[in-house]
Amino acid sequence: MSSSSKIILVDFIRHGEPHGGDILRGRIDPELTDLGWLQMRMAANLNRDFLPSELTPNWTKIITSPLRRCCDFSERLATGINLQTNVNNNWQEIDYGDWDGMLISDWRKAAAEQFKAFKEDLSALAPPNGEDYLSFKDRILRAYRQLVEKSGDGTHILVVTHGGVLRVILPSILGMPLNKSFPLNIPFACFSRIKIVEVAGALSASLIFHNGAEYSSLSNQRAT
């Protein structure tokens, strides 16, 4: 390709199951459960020693949220594939403020009015003493643009991040309204790939697959 063109692959993996049960996790920092570690190992197609297999992507860079449910796995993966981990605060989950750590059942009641208004107005979602949704959205999209701008042709990046982050990135790629993305399933260890093409400064992005980890896990189970 010419010097004015480039192709980048970006893989996004949501963290696996963390400790704490059915609670809202923003900036609280629980570690992964044993199941969460297994989910991440299978998502990345690592063997039982967390070393790469023939199916592990040939990542050239790893970027991670600083929260332990993301960075603990990222650091272990980086060691196994001889890369460095790039910790980036911009890929953190939204700061839920006073809601952080609440039982989901209680949070749904506390946030009900905001989410009702959010369906019509993105600015309506503003967790008390936390990060309002518009600021969160701008932070994530800015981090995404910086990632693309700083990456060279042929780069294959892994970003280990959070469900709320993916609810900004994926709908933006697909042209979906961000407040209408609730049918988009983003489970623990969800693995999605985006292909970005830049030609003469013009960018286009396409979703290559979504929740690929689920199918990877099923294939691994059939093979054992």
Q: Show the domains of the chain with their CATH numbers.
A: 5-223 (3.40.50.1240)
Contact by Cβ (8 Å): 51, 80:
yes
Burial of 80-105, coded b for 16+ CB within 10 Å and e otherwise, reads bbeeebbbbebbbbbbbeebbebeee
Task: Give the model confidence (pLDDT) of 69-94 as tens digits.
Answer: 999 999 999 999 999 999 999 999 99
Contact by Cβ (8 Å): 24, 96:
yes
Q: What Rg do the C-alpha atoms of the chain give, in angstroms?
A: 18
- pLDDT for 220: 46
pLDDT band at 223 (very low <50, low <70, confident <90, very high): very low
Alpha helices in 81-223 (DSSP H): 104-110, 112-118, 133-150, 163-174, 212-223
Higher pLDDT, 224 or 91: 91
- pLDDT for 212: 85
- pLDDT for 213: 72
Contact by Cβ (8 Å): 9, 113:
no
pLDDT mean across residues, the chain: 92
Contact by Cβ (8 Å): 65, 88:
yes
* Cα pseudo-dihedral 164, 166, 167, 173, rounded to 10: 160
pLDDT band at 8 (very low <50, low <70, confident <90, very high): very high
